[in-house]
Amino acid sequence: MSGSPEDRAAAQVHAWAAELGFQGAGIARVAPPDPDGHLRAWLDRGYNAGLSYMAKKVADREDVDRLVPGAKSVVALAMSYRREGPEPEPPLKVSRYAMADDYHNMILKRSRRLGNRIKATWPGTTVKATVDTAPVLERAWAARAGVAWIGKSTMAISPRLGTYTFLSTLITTVAMTPDEPLPDRCGSCTRCLDACPTQAFPAPYVLDANKCITYWNVEHRGPFPEPPPELHGWVAGCDVCQQVCPWNKFGVLTEERRFTPHPDMVRPDPAVFADPAAHDALERTLLGTPLQRTGPDAVRRNARSILGR
């Protein structure tokens, strides 16, 4: 393998990532991921709603060197979770990401396997893997590493995979040749902004969680306020901005069998999702999916609100 040590390291990591099933991979040189202060401005406007954790460890999100001292590179990874099949339908709709097995542990294990290969090849180096639960701006790193650009819906858009992707990062002290960022290819398209049923985008590239359906039906804890938020049939998550994104017409489908939707999540049974007497059945339905973390009480709250019960 020719080239500089940084070139060889980058080529090797790209090859390993593909072997491990990541359909997108890129490398960024460590630098501030949010040099224009978009995160702090977003927090100052209160657009994080009840997501108080976003206001914590802001400095960590802005500087990965605080998580991995001496970090030189960030490897951004992406995996599609989209499969062919019907879109969610009323009366109760579940976002595609939540229909199948929980992605967190699976992708984290794959990322750590990649990290272990890095550590074995370059002894004495440090690697930290993250999957959207650590204070890391994964979408910003995906954009910086050339895996995707951040679209007007604030989703990471890959020209190869579309938006139905799970992202992961590896922060490492190994120096690697970075990939080139992608240009913003949204152009004049505003389909995602126009289609949002709650008008949750006060401007392109800005999401107000106070109006976001996914915030209310996944992240909000406890009873809904009065009047309750309009969920437009979404009992968990919301895919509207992704359903209308033209890039998803070309997106590569997932090859991961664990992203096969659970039948009970494709067509949620109102009798199970909304009836308090069916608590145990709902708990079994959510078992192993990302909604196990949300919990049956919150999911039932959503279903009853949608059904007017």
Q: Is the pLDDT of residue 1 over 80?
A: no
This prediction has a pTM of: 0.95
Q: Are 146 and 179 a contacting pair, CB within 8 Å?
A: yes
Residue 53: inside a domain, yes or no?
yes
- Separation of alpha carbons 187 and 185, rounded Å: 5
Residue 179 lies in a domain: no
What is the rounded CA–CA span in Å between residue 197 and residue 212?
9
Based on the fold, state whether residues 21 and 151 are members of the same structural domain: yes
Query: Per the structure, how many domains does the chain have?
Result: 2
Q: Where are the beta strands (DSSP E) in 42-139?
A: 73-80, 93-94, 127-130
* Residues ≥6 apart with Cβ < 8 Å to 17: 25, 75, 77, 114
Amino acid in the structure at residue 114? L
DSSP assignment, residue 11?
H
Q: Indicate whether 92 belongs to any domain.
A: no
Any domain includes 270: yes
Q: What's residue 274's pLDDT?
A: 97
Same domain as 219, residue 168: no
In a domain, 21, yes or no: yes
Check pLDDT > 60 for residue 91.
yes
- 204 and 275 fall within a common domain: yes
For residues 278 and 133, which has the higher predicted lDDT (pLDDT)? 278
Q: Is residue 129 part of a domain?
A: yes
Residues 124 and 262 in one domain: no
Does 32 score more than 60 pLDDT? yes
pLDDT digits (tens, 9 = 90+) for 151-206: 999 999 999 999 999 999 999 999 999 999 999 999 999 999 999 999 999 999 99
Q: Determine contact, residues 251/164, Cβ cutoff 8 Å.
A: yes
Residues 273, 235: Cα–Cα separation, whole Å: 9
103-121 and 5-19 are packed helices; what angle lies between their axes, rounded to 10 degrees?
Answer: 150
Q: Average pLDDT, stretch 277-293?
A: 97
Backbone angles phi, psi at 297, to 5 degrees: -65, -45
Last residue in a domain, options 145, 172, 199? 172
Active-site amino acid positions: 132
Residue 239 shares a structural domain with residue 294: yes
Looking at 172, 206, 232, the residue that finishes a domain is: 172
156 with 249, same domain? Answer: no
Q: Which of 35, 251, 255 is nearest to 155 (CA)?
A: 251
Please tell me whether residues 44 and 144 are part of one structural domain.
Answer: yes
Q: Which of 172, 206, 228 is the last residue of a domain?
A: 172
Burial class (CB in 10 A: 0-12, 13-18, 19+), 183: exposed
- Phi, psi for residue 169 in degrees, rounded to 5: -135, 155
Domain that holds residue 37: 5-82+102-172
Task: Establish whether the linkage from the previous residue to 270 is cis, with ω within 30° of 0.
Answer: no
**Residue 74 contacts by C-beta under 8 Å, 6 or more apart in sequence?**
27, 28, 30, 64, 141, 144, 145, 169, 170, 171, 172
Q: Do 15 and 135 fall within a single domain?
A: yes
Is residue 195 within 8 Å of residue 285, measured between CB atoms?
no
The answer to whether residues 166 and 206 belong to one domain is no
Mean pLDDT to the nearest integer, 243-271: 94
In the chain, % of residues over pLDDT 90? 93
The alpha-carbon radius of gyration of the chain (Å, integer) is 20
Residues 303, 252, single domain; the answer is yes
Residue 296: its pLDDT value, please?
A: 98
DSSP 212-247: -HHIIIII--SSPPSSPPP-TTEEE---HHHHT-GG
CA distance 240 to 86: 14
Q: What is the pLDDT of residue 251?
A: 87
Is residue 162 in some structural domain? yes
- Do 165 and 33 share a domain, yes or no? yes
Same domain, 251 and 219: yes
**Quick one: which of 159, 143, 111, 138 has its CA closest to 13?**
111
Residue 135 lies in a domain: yes
Cβ neighbours of residue 153 under 8 Å, at least 6 residues apart?
163, 192, 193, 201, 207, 241, 242, 245
- Per residue in 68-89, pLDDT (tens digit) is 999 999 999 999 999 988 788 8
